[in-house]
């Protein structure tokens, strides 16, 4: 059950992060300076309640899966989850805080560039959990 729940939540988060990486964050560049503040506030207000609970659930599921079967694959999967949280709260959140104060193309570029960390990590997590699910259900 933990494996399937993990697959579902990680799939959702991977889809969200690819959408954010390829569509949402690059669109920040297109918003006028006059509209930037309200646009960014709306983004943060709507994305937070969606992704924060999913990230918490995903982390708990990754920890449970590792606790149930502490093998190499599970440990790598959990490490990805840890690095996702670190990247989010040490890199992306501070960039969003700066962007909430003012429109800055260099900060937007930094957000797009550094968000590849999370995009890649969520993709790796999805590959791992998909592989494990496939192996379990053969």
Residue position matching structure tokens 């909430």? 100
Q: Is the pLDDT of residue 13 over 80?
A: yes
65-116 pLDDT, tens digit per residue, is 999 988 999 999 999 999 999 999 999 999 999 999 999 999 999 999 999 9
Here the contacts of 89-92 (C-beta below 8 Å, separation 24 or greater) are 91/117, 92/118
Q: Is the pLDDT of residue 138 over 80?
A: no
* pLDDT at residue 43, as a whole number: 94
**Separation of alpha carbons 42 and 29, rounded Å:** 15
Sequence-ordered strand ranges (E) for the chain: none
Most confident of 33-37, 53-57, 131-135: 53-57
Q: 2: which 2 tokens?
A: 């933990």
- Confidence band (pLDDT; 50, 70, 90) for 1? confident
Indicate the pTM of the whole model: 0.93
């Amino acid at each position: 059950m933990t494996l399937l729940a993990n697959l579902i939540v990680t799939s959702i988060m991977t889809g969200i992060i690819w959408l954010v990486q390829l569509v949402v964050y690059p669109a920040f560049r297109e918003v006028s300076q006059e509209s930037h503040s309200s646009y960014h506030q709306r983004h943060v207000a709507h994305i937070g309640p969606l992704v924060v609970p999913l990230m918490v659930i995903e982390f708990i599921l990754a920890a449970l899966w590792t606790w149930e079967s502490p093998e190499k694959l599970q440990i790598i999967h959990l490490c990805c989850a840890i690095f996702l949280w670190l990247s989010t709260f040490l890199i992306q959140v501070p960039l969003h805080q700066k962007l909430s104060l003012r429109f800055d193309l260099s900060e937007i570029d930094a957000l797009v560039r550094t968000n590849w960390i999370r995009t890649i990590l969520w993709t790796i997590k999805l590959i791992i959990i998909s592989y494990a699910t496939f192996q379990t259900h053969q």
